[in-house]
Amino acid sequence: MNTEEAIDKVYQSVLKRDPGQPEFHQAVYEILQSLKLLLEREEDYLDILPRIVEPERAILFRVPWVTDDNQVRVNRGYRVQFNSAIGPFKGGLRFHPSVNLSIIKFLGFEQIFKNSLTGLPIGGGKGGSDFDPKGKSDMEVMRFCQSFMIELEHHIGQNTDVPAGDIGVGKREIGYLFGQFKRLRNSYEPGVLTGKDLNFGGSLIRPEATGYGCAYFAEEMLHAHNDSLSGKKVLVSGSGNVAQYAVEKITQLGGKCLTLSDSSGFIHDQDGIDEEKLAFVKELKNERHGRISEYTKVFTKATFHAGQKPWGVPADFAFPCATQNEIEAKDAEQLIMGGCKGICEGANMPSTLDAIRIYYQNKILYGPAKAANAGGVATSALEMSQNSQRLAWTREEVDGRLRNIMVNIHRVAAETANEFDRPGDLMAGANIAGFRKVADAMKGQGIV
């Protein structure tokens, strides 16, 4: 059996054992295709494939909670502990109606390689629920989080599994989860969750980290081609945490961000989203939980495009920071037609496989999510380090470490791509480098 047949056998086994999980299938396929370059040279890694595509543990549980009008509701909770070869499971919790086992498994699988690329000792996992915090009162969110933690508490710990936030899970939700964990364990263990409030073990720069890190990675991509973000017109999708801080750092680096979006549509501001406008977006989204369309009521030169994506706006660079598969083939073609020279992914797997093929066919710069958005989990690991040492680092120290990590991730991905005669192919470089470290650890620990 040749390498390609061996890889296909593993992929077919995933399709058979995990039917009805398209997001997970997509993530596995992308990784396996990139690994052909490595596996053709070093066939002993083939034995790792059947194990690395299977989670160590997948936990599914019910989450009953009570609404403000005393109605009992039941949601479904998940925690997929995918791989702990290089450290405790690490990955966020997502609260969104779309959450299902396939989405959590794809996120957990991607997390293995993303976490490996940071160079920090953290394994891969992910969790969440189909609970929707939108439209819920603070008390309803608190009751849900407390019920969710009653089950999750059995499976996590600062040396076992360390969850964090994701879509629908911010500082508020992490606080409620941590408070319930502390109550259940009768123990103050700040390292069990990251993304906490600064008053009880959180880290400076953690809220900004994914967006900042994505901008730092894009800057490194451009530096490698004797260019920079300065003067670039930039499209950003989303308007949550990642998008907000990507805009903030891109602007600080000299770029002009033209768009933001949410599920209702996108806004286009030809003058750029400056510090004052971004402050309004933060207040709108983080405090009032309003729609992005309200932006145009305050900044009247901007336009709102209901039910549309921003990818048809002419620009130099794009940062998809909303959700998975938001850029399809037709969107990628629009970006190319609009003069886009590069994509840097802030969301998890925001480009479909067909869209990625179009990027490569048109030879534009492409920063894949598992490398470009690793800043969030990297800073979570820095938060764990501060918690274990009972220290609180300065903003400058954390930001400096974050930037160094993102520079190093780009360097490792680029060097690995060159090693396998694929210069500039950061997706292949990131996948191979991330896999190789985890696979070597798995081989060293025996068949477990």
* CATH at 158: 3.40.50.10860
CB 245 within 8 A of CB 210: yes
Q: Are residues 215 and 354 in the same domain?
A: yes
Is 380 inside a domain boundary? no
**Separation CA 128–CA 153 (nearest Å):** 13
In total, the chain counts a number of residues equal to 448
Percent of the chain's residues with pLDDT above 90: 99
> How far from each other are the two terminal CA atoms of the chain, in whole angstroms?
25
Is 103 inside a domain boundary? yes
Q: Are residues 77 and 180 in the same domain?
A: yes
- Total domain count, the chain: 2
Q: What is the pLDDT of residue 1?
A: 78
Three-state SS for 286-330 is HHCCCCHHHHHHHCCCCEEEECCCHHHCCCCEEECCCCCCCECHH
Q: Are residues 181 and 60 in the same domain?
A: yes
Q: What is the pLDDT of residue 267?
A: 99
Domain that holds residue 117: 54-185
pLDDT above 90: residue 289: no
Specify the DSSP class assigned to residue 185: H
CB 371 within 8 A of CB 410: yes
Q: Are residues 229 and 355 in the same domain?
A: yes
Is 66 inside a domain boundary? yes
**Separation CA 244–CA 215 (nearest Å):** 11
Q: Are residues 213 and 181 in the same domain?
A: no
Is 376 inside a domain boundary? no
Is 215 inside a domain boundary? yes
Q: Are residues 223 and 357 in the same domain?
A: yes
Is 23 inside a domain boundary? no
Q: What is the pLDDT of residues 355-375, one digit of tens each?
A: 999 999 999 999 999 999 999
Q: Are residues 229 and 329 in the same domain?
A: yes
Q: What is the pLDDT of residues 196-249, one digit of tens each?
A: 999 999 999 999 999 999 999 999 999 999 999 999 999 999 999 999 999 999
**Separation CA 183–CA 175 (nearest Å):** 12
pTM across the whole model: 0.94
Single out the residue in 139, 170, 185 at which a domain terminates.
185
Q: Are residues 144 and 251 in the same domain?
A: no
**Separation CA 194–CA 207 (nearest Å):** 10
Just list the catalytic residues.
126
What are the C-alpha distances in Å from 221 to residues 86, 371, 411? 27, 11, 10
Neighbouring C-beta atoms of residue 350, cutoff 10 Å: 25
Q: What is the pLDDT of residues 296-354, one digit of tens each?
A: 999 999 999 999 999 999 999 999 999 999 999 999 999 999 999 999 999 999 999 99
